[in-house]
Amino acid sequence: MNIREESQLDYDQIDKVHDAAFNSQFESKLVRQLRQNEDFECRLSIIAENTNEQNQIVGHILFFPIRVSSNKKIIKSLALAPLGVLPSFQKKGIGSKLILEGLKAAKCLGYQSVFVLGHYEYYTRFGFKPTLEAWNIKSPFECPPENFMALELPAHFNCLKDTESVKIIYPDEFL
């Protein structure tokens, strides 16, 4: 398995990964739209390719810049969305490898946190915590509170505890 940044030659295969993983075209459409956003960072769009199958792309993850705004400061942050792995390659650690590689890239690029709307049991393995419980940060999406989580890169949310309100600002493509 080879983990690397996406290239333009990968776009069609990435669409197929997300369409199959989610049984929907919503996520592939989201990725295409986010690539058009001026904040898109190709170093945070990462693929897994199966070197045994003519370099077939079997997984993709995208981390996209968002802002965490309070009445005192704005924090450079990321949204993790989407993460997709072809169904025949799921449960083999590919998603975990993509997450870890993305978190490593995020730290290197100076991002301070990552937010995700996802499965509690899966993402807490990587250190994600429900935002409402850990930092009193509400999700901008309608979802169970335990499914909107964040990971600090390094710890910085404690500086937000004395603020009146915290707002998570996603680009329009997510809404």
pLDDT at 160 over 60: no
Phi, psi torsion values for 59, nearest 5 degrees: -155, 155
Q: Which domain holds residue 89?
A: 2-174
157 pLDDT tier (thresholds 50, 70, 90): low
pLDDT digits (tens, 9 = 90+) for 111-146: 989 999 999 999 999 999 999 999 999 999 999 999
* CB hemisphere CA count around 140 (13 angstroms): 18
Query: What is the pLDDT, as a whole number, of residue 164?
Result: 54
Decide if 18 contacts 31 (C-beta within 8 A): yes
159 pLDDT tier (thresholds 50, 70, 90): very low
When mean pLDDT is compared across 87-96, 108-117, 147-156, the lowest value belongs to 147-156
- Entry pTM: 0.87
Report percent pLDDT > 90 for the chain. Answer: 74
How many distinct structural domains can be found in the chain?
1
CATH number, domain of 109, equals 3.40.630.30
